[in-house]
């Protein structure tokens, strides 16, 4: 049995941050029911849906990845009848997760205050750009906005270049991860109190949290960090270095690692006595990096990685996606999984990084068609009979 198989999540999310959070919960076994508007359904369904390269069975890579292991019901939350159906679902649910703009759930009458009236144990979670409080709470925001405002872009890139966003959309994904953590914390607290609560996640808050010790360093000293490329502000050598056929990472954290490093790169100019201690190396960082780069260019990445690993020096290749997704370590950890579509075709995508020793191995089911499970969920979970379902369909409340 999977860890969250006793939990039911109503998923009101769209785009990336919210769907990623509910995907994590679904991967861990939560019954995750995607509530979509009648018609075309959630907007992300259309992203890349017609791409020859990035779509399968009418679904683009966004939707395929983020909505595995989920069910789909179509409910018109803007109608009284549809909202009544949704409230019936809330009575049987544990979590309602959304990433609407601030104020939308209140306008729809499905905010925590309203939902807790029908189910005091309900946990609600909203992931927004700036959270439910503060002067910017009504402002729209997407990934790059919060990456920029959160400070991370200012230290990303080369020293003589412009700020650079993370290639991975960490603004969106960070919001989803913290949303899932917040939900799990609220569910754990509910075990003691018996009542649910609201989880308010700001994507900007998440980015500030990820600044971590670097933010503390600034607040202590007043020094504003600058871009230093792939090097480190303390450790040397710690950088990306060119080889004959690519680039590798070497990360010598501390003097002991540097002494071992000298058994691999035995260059006379690196054996200065002052280099045996971090301050001496850091004072001459550019020169040390240049010497290492000149030596490494003489052989392949595989050659150097083999020698560095034998000396137990922290190192690794700078992989593109093709190489990263076929790393033996990645495959050995089930981080590339296959999801079978209704056509019988399979799509490979990233697995779940959370490994639980007593949980069943995760299974990955096909993302749902629009409203695929409306009738089954309303019949089996809520006990609606055929006449009730037909009345709701005729009124446009469900589809």
Q: Residue 67, CB half-sphere, CA atoms under 13 Å: how many?
A: 29
**What distances in angstroms separate CA 5 from CA 1, 8, 189, 362, 378, one per listed residue?**
7, 8, 18, 11, 19
Question: Which of 112, 232, 235, 247 is labelled catalytic?
Answer: 232
Among candidate residues 70, 20, 9, 17, the one with its CA nearest the CA of residue 41: 70
**What distances in angstroms separate CA 397 from CA 76, 125, 151, 262, one per listed residue?**
5, 24, 44, 71
| Contact between 2 and 31 (Cβ < 8 Å) | no
Among candidate residues 289, 319, 295, the one with its CA nearest the CA of residue 307: 295
Active site residue 323: no
| Contact between 32 and 11 (Cβ < 8 Å) | yes
Token duo for residue 330: 């990645």
Strand runs labelled E in the chain: 8-11, 31-36, 55-56, 59-60, 70-74, 95-98, 123-128, 198-202, 238-242, 247-251, 315-317, 336-340, 346-350
**184 phi and psi, to 5 degrees?**
-65, -40
Token duo for residue 244: 């004959």
| Gap between the Cα atoms of 225 and 60, Å rounded | 39
Strands 55-56 and 59-60, how do they pair?
antiparallel
Active site positions, annotated:
232
């Amino acid at each position: 049995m999977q860890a969250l198989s006793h939990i039911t999540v109503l998923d009101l999310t769209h785009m990336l941050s919210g769907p990623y959070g509910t995907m994590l919960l679904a991967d861990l076994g939560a019954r995750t029911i995607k509530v979509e508007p009648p018609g075309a359904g959630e907007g992300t369904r259309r992203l890349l849906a017609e791409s020859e390269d990035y779509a399968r069975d009418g679904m683009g890579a966004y939707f395929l990845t983020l909505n595995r292991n989920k069910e789909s019901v179509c409910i018109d939350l803007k109608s009284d009848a549809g909202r009544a159906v949704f409230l019936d679902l809330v009575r049987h649910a544990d979590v309602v997760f959304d990433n609407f703009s601030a104020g939308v759930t209140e306008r729809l009458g499905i905010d925590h205050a309203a939902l807790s009236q029908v189910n005091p144990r309900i946990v609600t979670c909203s992931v927004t750009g700036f959270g439910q409080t503060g002067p910017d709470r009504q402002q729209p925001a997407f990934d790059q906005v919060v990456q920029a405002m959160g400070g991370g872009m200012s230290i990303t890139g080369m020293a003589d270049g412009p700020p650079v966003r993370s290639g991975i959309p960490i603004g969106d994904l960070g919001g989803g991860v913290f949303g899932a953590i917040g939900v799990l914390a609220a569910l754990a607290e509910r075990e003691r109190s018996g009542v649910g609560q609201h989880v308010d996640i700001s994507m900007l808050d998440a980015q500030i949290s990820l600044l971590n010790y670097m933010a503390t360093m600034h607040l202590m000293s007043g020094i504003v960090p600058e871009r230093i490329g792939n090097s480190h502000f303390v450790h040397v050598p710690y950088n990306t270095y060119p080889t004959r056929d690519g680039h590798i990472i070497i990360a010598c954290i501390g003097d002991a690692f540097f002494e071992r490093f000298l058994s691999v790169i035995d260059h006379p100019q690196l054996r200065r006595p002052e280099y045996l201690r971090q301050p001496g190396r850091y004072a001459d960082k550019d020169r040390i990096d240049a010497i290492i780069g000149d030596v490494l260019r003489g052989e392949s990445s595989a050659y150097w990685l083999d020698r560095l690993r034998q000396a137990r020096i922290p190192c690794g290749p700078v992989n593109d996606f093709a190489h990263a997704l076929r790393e033996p370590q990645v495959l050995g950890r089930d981080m590339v999984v296959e999801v079978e579509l209704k056509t019988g075709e399979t799509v490979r995508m990233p697995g779940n990084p959370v490994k639980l020793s007593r949980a069943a191995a995760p299974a990955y089911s096909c993302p749902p068609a629009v409203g695929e499970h409306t009738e089954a969920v309303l019949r089996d979970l809520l006990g609606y009979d055929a006449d009730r379902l037909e009345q709701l369909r005729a009124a446009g409340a469900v589809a």
